[in-house]
A = this chain, B = another copy of it.
Amino acid sequence: MIRTTFIGAGNLAWHLAPALDNVGYPVREVYSQNPKHAAALVGRLYEAHVNISLDFSASASKVFVICVSDDAIQEVAQKIILPDNAIVVHTSGSQPLSVLDDSGSQNMGVFYPLQTFTKAKKVDFKNVPIFVESENADVEKALVKMAKAISGNVKKINSEGRKALHIAAVFASNFSNHMLHIAKEIAQQNDLDYNVLKPLIAETLNKSLEIGPEKAQTGPAVRGDFEILERHMEFLKENPELAEIYRLISQHIIDSSGE
C-alpha cells in the first residue's frame, strides 16, 4: 500500500484520484485552492481528507500528484513542503520535468495520462496511455508500477518526446474538435441542422482510425479541385479568418498528398 496526496481537484484529479484509490494507492489528502473543490473530490475517496495548506511535512503519503493547470505547477512546487523521501510528480503534457526543481525534492517525476477528461464523463483508465518520466531510476520504477496498476498502456518518455507528443495531441484532439466547431457555426449561420453532419463525422473518423488519415482523406483539396476551393473561399470571404484557415489547410492537404 502506497499512500498518495493530490494537489488540485480539477478534471484529471477527479478521475485519477479514485482510480488510484481503488488499486492500492489510497489517497490520504487533497489540496485545492478552492477547498470546496477539494471536499467534492474527497467525497469520491475512501479515507481522504481536505488539506487546507501546502504544508505536508507531517503527511504519511509517499507520492504527491500535482494536478493543477500548467502555469500553476511551478508555484505549487515552490510552496509545497514535502515529507522526507516523498516522490513528487506533475501530470502535464507540456511542462518539462524541471518545472518541479523548486520543490527541492530529489524524487521528481512526470505522470502524464494522454487523454481528455471531463468531470461528468466516466473514464476507463485501462485504455489510457500513461507516460512516465524521471531522472531517478527508483522513482521511475515506482511510477511505472503505479501507472501499470491502473493502465494497460504505460510508456517511458523524456521531456522532449513528451513535448512533441503533446503538440501531436493538440492537433489530434483540440484542433480536430475545433474543425467540428467551425462546421457547426457554418451550419447554424446558414440555417442548417448540424446534426445532419454527425454520420459523416463518425464515418470519417472511424475510417481514419482504421485505415490511417492519409488514406482516408477525401474532398476538393486532395482531389486538386481548385475551382471548388476558389468557390468555397469566395463563400467564406465575409469571415476572412475562416477563409484563411480554409486556404491554409487546403494548401497543406495538397502539399501532403504529393508526398
Interface residue ranges, A against B (CB under 8 Å): 69-71, 94, 114-116, 118, 121, 123, 127-129, 153, 155, 161, 163-187, 189-192, 194, 196-205, 207-209, 211-214, 216-223, 225, 227-228, 231-232, 235-236, 241-242, 244-246, 248-249, 251-253, 255-256
Number of this chain's copies in the complex: 2
Determine the chain B residues whose CB is within 8 A of the CB of A252 once the complex forms: 178, 182, 241-242, 245
Closest Cβ of chain B to A62, distance in Å, is 28
Determine the chain B residues whose CB is within 8 A of the CB of A163 once the complex forms: 231-232, 235
Determine the chain B residues whose CB is within 8 A of the CB of A71 once the complex forms: 225, 227
Determine the chain B residues whose CB is within 8 A of the CB of A153 once the complex forms: 196, 199
Interface of A, secondary structure class, is helix
Closest Cβ of chain B to A75, distance in Å, is 13
Chain B residue with Cβ nearest A95: B228
Determine the chain B residues whose CB is within 8 A of the CB of A255 once the complex forms: 241
Q: Decide if A165 touches B235 in the complex (CB within 8 Å).
A: no
Q: Decide if A203 touches B167 in the complex (CB within 8 Å).
A: no
Q: Decide if A201 touches B209 in the complex (CB within 8 Å).
A: yes
Q: Decide if A165 touches B181 in the complex (CB within 8 Å).
A: no
Determine the chain B residues whose CB is within 8 A of the CB of A185 once the complex forms: 256
Question: With A and B bound together, what is the CA distance between A172 and B219 in angstroms?
Answer: 11
